[in-house]
Structure 1
Amino acid sequence: MKLFQSKYEFSYPWDQVTAANWQKYPNELSVHVISVDTLNRSIIDNHILRTERLIGCKQAIPNWLSFIVGGASLSYVREVSEIDLNNKSLVMKSMNLTMNHLLLVKETVIYKPDFQLPNHKTTFNQSAEITAFASIGRICDKLEDWSIERFGQNASKGKLAFDGVLNNLAKNWEENGVFK
């Protein structure tokens, strides 16, 4: 198992970040995300919005991996998010559904208001556990190393893309008097 961790700070208040989360895809930098479908949405204890989504991704994979998995380039991820209005937190947990018997990726993302500037900034904490399952250890190591590298590349693009989405939405919200 390999672990990926990332921290970031968005220069927007938590309420704007959580509202923008639902409009994150599609965007020009995260072209690997081709579909986002809401499967279920419910309210828990009158203050937690729980949403389950199915995210479709398409991206090229290395030839050596294509040989192992049969050339599949379309994959699906299940994401469960909970927005807690009382505690001002958004926790998103996701895991791959496609080929998870070969490679399991469990990701957790937490958005919270910045401790020092809660009305102006939002903290982003991301972690992912990546585990490959194969009878040959060297194949597992290679698959996990490739997956960590790809995950990091997509995470960097994702943060930049989300900053762009937030910037565009903030302009629109400012023009329309929303979030003032």
Structure 2
Amino acid sequence: MKIWTSEHTFNHPWETVVQAAWRKYPNPINTAVIGTDVVEREVINGVLHSHRLVSSQWYFPSWVQKIIGTPKVCHASERSTVDTNERQMTLKTTNVTFGSFLSVDEVLQYAPHPTDPSKTLLRQQATVSVEGVPLSRYMEEALTNNISFNASRGRLGLEWVINKINTEVKEIATTADDLLMQTKKSIDGITDTARKSMDELSASKQKIHF
């Protein structure tokens, strides 16, 4: 059994990082995950519980492929909780493919950084266990290295999504400002037209009076 752990700090508030985590896939940087499907989702005592099926492509060394094969798509079960009151998000993922001899259990925890609440701390742990096949210890090492590589790309992918969200927010704000300006111009135009009409009507009454 191999255990891999990592910590990473995002320079973004927890709410932004969690929103990006929901929209993480697909992204052009972390291309291993090709799709997610929601199996179940419910809110219990204010906490959002979700169950998703994650489809991805695993890239193994050629000697590993000869032992376990190379399915085109691998599947994993992801269960997550989001507690907005406590500002905690936890994702637990377990592989479904190769489940008879390979176990990959991964846990990700997003929480405000303990010394800077404007940032988000990601704690990540993966436990890899291979049993009943040749070279199991070497396979555990190869899989752990692959998880570490994908984790770094996953963080870059999350940053890409955050930038995309920030761009969308700016575009919405710009559109709202433009719409407000156009509305103001329209109101000003209507007001000017009404004022001119009133002035013309007043002038006509004065002519009739004289």
TM-score using structure 1 length? 0.90
Q: What is the DSSP-based 3-state SS (H/G/I as helix, E as strand, rest coil) of the residue aligned with 1:12?
A: coil
* Aligned equivalents of 2:69, 2:76: Cα separation in 1: 19
Greater mean deviation of Cα atoms: 166-175 or 49-58: 166-175
Alignment-derived partner of residue 168 in structure 2: 172
* Aligned equivalents of 2:49, 2:146: Cα separation in 1: 28
Q: What is the DSSP-based 3-state SS (H/G/I as helix, E as strand, rest coil) of the residue aligned with 1:165?
A: helix
* Aligned equivalents of 1:125, 1:175: Cα separation in 2: 32
Mapped pair 1:85 → 2:84: yes
**CA contact under 8 A between 2:39 and 2:51: conserved in structure 1?**
yes
**How has the CA–CA distance of structure 1 residues 174 and 122 changed in structure 2, closer, same or farther, with 3 Å as cutoff?**
farther
* Aligned equivalents of 1:49, 1:108: Cα separation in 2: 17
Higher relative contact order (CA 8 A, sep 6+): 1
Offset, 1:171:
2.7
* Aligned equivalents of 2:19, 2:12: Cα separation in 1: 11
- Going by fraction, where is helix more abundant, 1 or 2? 2
**Total equivalences in the alignment:** 173
**CA contact under 8 A between 2:105 and 2:128: conserved in structure 1?**
yes
RMSD over equivalenced CA pairs, Å: 1.4
* Aligned equivalents of 2:145, 2:62: Cα separation in 1: 16
**CA contact under 8 A between 1:66 and 1:72: conserved in structure 2?**
no
Is there any run of 5+ residues in structure 2 with no aligned partner, and where? Answer: 174-210
- Going by fraction, where is strand more abundant, 1 or 2? 1
Is there any run of 5+ residues in structure 1 with no aligned partner, and where? Answer: none
Larger radius of gyration: 2
**CA contact under 8 A between 1:42 and 1:51: conserved in structure 2?**
yes
Offset, 1:175:
4.3
Offset, 1:97:
0.4
The share of aligned pairs that are identical, in percent, is 29
* Aligned equivalents of 1:116, 1:174: Cα separation in 2: 29
Task: Report runs of 4+ in structure 1 exceeding 6 Å deviation.
Answer: none
**CA contact under 8 A between 1:58 and 1:74: conserved in structure 2?**
yes
**CA contact under 8 A between 1:61 and 1:73: conserved in structure 2?**
no
